[in-house]
Amino acid sequence: MYGSLCHSPAREFGILREAMNDLFSGVSGAVHEFPPVNVYTNDNGAVAKAELPGIDLEQLELTVANSVLTLKGTRGCADLKNDVRALRSERIRGSFVRALNLPFKVDGAGVSARFDKGVLTVTLPRAESDKPRKIAIATA
């Protein structure tokens, strides 16, 4: 999933660190894809939130097709000059693709997205054609 990681040893340490965090936080079976995503739903649609601190919005692509929301992008490496030494490198970088299958068909035209404080929020309205329809029962 991480296309072009700059420092893979750091990533391995990151995985270990996450495992330790999980151990203490009591969260079991947590997913460690990047970016982490939360999805909230109701009868009329969904809101997806993703933690993408520092992402360059030019490098982020959001698409919706039927019931699938796709986040695709790159979190670049810092532009380091020759005389710069990395002492610690924990932040995840590289390219990523995440596809989320929602439990309903999305009204593509009504989708909106906002980026604030490093958190992306996508509002996904459910397509009218997908909403349950109440059927009137005629008597004979």
Partner 1 sequence: MTVTETPNAVQTAYQACCAESSTCEGAASSKKVFLPRADIYETKDTVELYADLPGVDEKSLEITLEKSVLSIRGKVVPVVPEGYKAAYVEYSEGDYERSFKLAEEIDCDDIKATIKNGVLHVSLNKAGPAQARKIEVKVS
Residues that bind partner 1 (CB under 8 A): 7, 9-10, 14, 17, 20-21, 24-27, 30-31, 33, 36-42, 46-47, 51-55, 78, 80-81, 83-92, 100, 103, 115, 117-119, 121
CB of residue 1 to partner 1, shortest distance in Å: 13
CB of residue 30 to partner 1, shortest distance in Å: 7
CB of residue 135 to partner 1, shortest distance in Å: 26
CB of residue 115 to partner 1, shortest distance in Å: 7
| Nearest CB to partner 1, comparing residues 30 and 65 | 30
The answer for residues whose C-beta is within 8 angstroms of residue 71's C-beta and 6 or more apart is 35, 37, 50, 60, 61, 62, 96, 97, 98, 99, 100, 120
| Nearest CB to partner 1, comparing residues 48 and 136 | 48
Q: Which residues of 101-138 are buried (b: 16+ CB within 10 A; e: fewer)?
A: ebebbbbeeebebeeeeeebebebbbbeeeeeeeeeee
| Nearest CB to partner 1, comparing residues 24 and 135 | 24
Q: Which tokens belong to 125?
A: 């309205």
Q: Which tokens belong to 113?
A: 């997205």
Spatial separation of the C-alpha atoms in residues 30 and 41, rounded to whole Å: 20
| Nearest CB to partner 1, comparing residues 14 and 72 | 14
